[in-house]
Structures are given as structure tokens and as C-alpha cells.
Amino acid sequence: MIQVPETRISPPQQRHELQSAAAQQIDSASPKASEIRNFLLHRGNSALADRWFHVLMLLCALSIFGIVLLIAGELTIGSSLSWGQFGFNFFFKTYFDPNTHLPMYWDPVNGHFSALPFVYGTLVSSFLSLLIAVPLAIGVAVFLTEMCPGVLRGPLAFLTELLAAIPSIIYGLWAVFVLVPLLRVYVNPLLTGSLGWTGLFSGDNPTGLGFVSAAVILAIMILPIISSLTREVMIAVPHSQREAVLALGATRWEMIRMGVLRNARIGIVGAVILGLGRALGETMAVTMVIGNTPEIHRSLLANGASMASVIANEYAEATSNLHRIARTVIGLALFVVTILVNAVARLLVWAVTRGAPARSR
């Protein structure tokens, strides 16, 4: 008789001991059971392998924490050397040229650095792009989830996904050679003519580069992210909600407004914030069309610069140590801001879609 111990519940830590105990019992019970003994001992070895495997996979997973800490650490060390010199004021202060008394922000020659115009540029271009992208993205999501005939749904969703897969550099290339000339010739004069009195669209910028161009290309780039997440959130709204509203005699739009959008609003806000995060850090396309002048103008048609664009644009010119450090500080600021924005957005989206049966991919 072989008596194998009760192993119905055996956590991996205990399995090894149980198995060797079982092997010993077999040994004493019958010498002929060497085959079973070998088998059980082999299992004992694999329990050790299991533990190693577990640890290895854990390390891989923990590397994600490691990466975040590494980036944060590297950027902090890289910028801490200068913290005494710049301080938090780095993001707010303005210098004045002693001769012309014009504001100066970014003057590598004289070692004056202030991130104010870049913060301004990033905020203005991102919010402008959200202004353009959000209504369109929600429109697309509503169309795809609630109105679209089934035949079109797949291809259209694929096309919007494709929009997300196009690299930033190709958007930039297209913007420089197609979008900017278009805006310069047709849209900018229109804006100046109709809204020039606000001061926001005044001045003639012969290049066509500037905040408006940057915002339009950014809007095109963040649209797919916002719309696909909005779609995901809207799909997660239970059908009973829609049916209940329809049963009360609502039209389709009223059903969408009361049954779907109202239930999904937190997730939609999350999607928009996620789009904002993408817009804040978008580099190549913005660098190519924003104009790259570290100045602050009231007009949105004027040239500007963003935090990401100044980092990308001055890679070759960063000769002095201070210049390089100033760039690292901007990088750190961008990192912290995008981490916060993304964290908030993810939490909002998760709050809605968690536990939802539908997965929209």
C-alpha cells in the first residue's frame, strides 16, 4: 500500500516537502516503486524551477517600476545640479534685454534660461487642439457605437486606428508640405478677417507656422486616441440603459444623451485627459510646424515653441552645461506632468470600464 499524503491544497512552497516526503514513504513501502519515486523527485526539482520561473517573471514585471524610477532618477540628478541656480522660478521669470527692454526668455549666449514661453506654448497648443479634437472625437464615437450600420463599423474603426498608427514624423512631413500652406492661404486670412479684432488672430505671419498650425496637426493626431477610448467607454454602458430610455419614448439623440453620454461622462473626461497627455508631449510634428521661437505673443498665428519642441530642436546646440541642464529640467517637468495627467486619465477610464464585458479591440 502506498500512502500518499493529503495534497488537495498544496501551495507551491509546501509542494516540494510533501513530494520528498511522499518519495520517502514509497521508498520504505516498496523498493520496486523506483519509477514513481523518480517521477516524484523530478517533480520536486521542477518545483524549484517553478520558483525560479516565478521570480524571473516577477523581475520582468518589476522592471516597469524600475524604468519609471530610472527615468525620474536620471532626470532629477541631471537637473538637480542647477536647482539652486534656476529654482522653481525657472518656469516663471522673464529677463529684459538691457538695450531694447524687450522681454527675453531663452538666451543661451548670455546664459539666460526661462521656460515660460515653452510652458505657454505647450499649454496653448494643447488646449487649442483639444478644442478642435474633442467634439469631433465624441461625434465619431457616437456615430460608430450608436448610429453606424454594421457593415461600416469595422472598416471605420480600423481607419481611425490607422490614424493612431501613423508616426509623428509623417504627420509633421505632411503638415509642413500640405497643411501649413493650406492654412496660410485659406484659413489664416479668414481668421484674421473675422476674428482679428480679438487680437488673438492678428498680425500676418508669412510662414504660416505657429500655434494654429500646431493645434490643427495635434488635433488630427490625438483624435483617434480620444475617439477609440470614448468608444470603449460607451460600449461599456449596459444596453438596458439605452432600452430604458428608448422605452420612455425618447428619440435616438435623447437616448444617446441621457442613456449613454451621461453614464459614460467620467470615462469620456478620462479619454479627453489622455488625449491632453498625448498632446502635451507630442514632439516631432509640433517641432516642425510651431516655428520654434522662444517668444510669447498674444496672437495665435505667431510663431512659438513648446516644451517638447525646444528639447528636440536644440539637441545639437546644447554646448554649455547650463544649456543642457535647462533642457533636462524641461524634460523632467514634462515627465512629471504627463505622468500625473496619464494617471488621472487612466483612473477615470478604469472607473467606467472596469468589469465591463465588452472589449473594443
Among positions 35-64, residues that touch another protein (CB under 8 A) are: 39, 43, 46-47, 49-50, 52-54, 56-64
Task: Single out the residue of 41, 173, 244, 356 in contact with another protein (rule: CB under 8 A).
Answer: 173
Kindly indicate which of the ranges 19-27, 113-121, 137-145, 264-272 contains the residues binding another protein, using the contact rule CB under 8 A: 137-145
Binding positions for another protein, 309-328, rule CB under 8 A: 311-312, 315, 327-328
For another protein, the closer CB: 92 or 253: 253
For another protein, the closer CB: 116 or 229: 229
Binding positions for another protein, 90-119, rule CB under 8 A: none
Task: Single out the residue of 10, 25, 202, 342 in contact with another protein (rule: CB under 8 A).
Answer: 342
Task: Single out the residue of 176, 200, 246, 266 in contact with another protein (rule: CB under 8 A).
Answer: 176
Distance CA 230, CA 222 (A): 12
75 interacts with another protein by CB under 8 A? yes
Task: Single out the residue of 126, 260, 331, 353 in contact with another protein (rule: CB under 8 A).
Answer: 331
Phi/psi of residue 167, nearest 5 degrees: -70, 150
3-state secondary structure 145-190: HHHCCHHHHHHHHHHHHHHHHCCHHHHHHHHHHHHHHHHHHHHHHH
Rg, Å, the chain Cα set:
29
Beta carbon of residue 96, minimum distance to another protein (angstroms, whole number): 30
Neighbours of 188 (CB within 10 A): 22
Beta carbon of residue 198, minimum distance to another protein (angstroms, whole number): 25
For another protein, the closer CB: 103 or 108: 108
Binding positions for another protein, 242-301, rule CB under 8 A: 251-254, 256, 274, 277-278, 280-284, 288
CA distances from 253 to 22, 141, 145, 235, 242 (A): 69, 13, 13, 16, 11
Beta carbon of residue 155, minimum distance to another protein (angstroms, whole number): 10
17 interacts with another protein by CB under 8 A? no
Distance CA 287, CA 284 (A): 5
Give every CB contact of residue 299 below 8 A, 6+ residues apart in sequence. 199, 200, 201, 202, 203, 205
For another protein, the closer CB: 19 or 205: 19
Planar angle of CA 9, 12, 14, nearest 5 degrees: 75
Beta carbon of residue 315, minimum distance to another protein (angstroms, whole number): 5
Kindly indicate which of the ranges 19-27, 65-73, 83-91, 189-197 contains the residues binding another protein, using the contact rule CB under 8 A: 65-73
Residue showing cell 451621461? 262
Beta carbon of residue 195, minimum distance to another protein (angstroms, whole number): 21
User: Phi-psi region for residue 107, left (φ > 0), alpha (ψ -120 to 50) or beta?
Assistant: beta
Contact predicate 115/91, CB 8 Å? yes
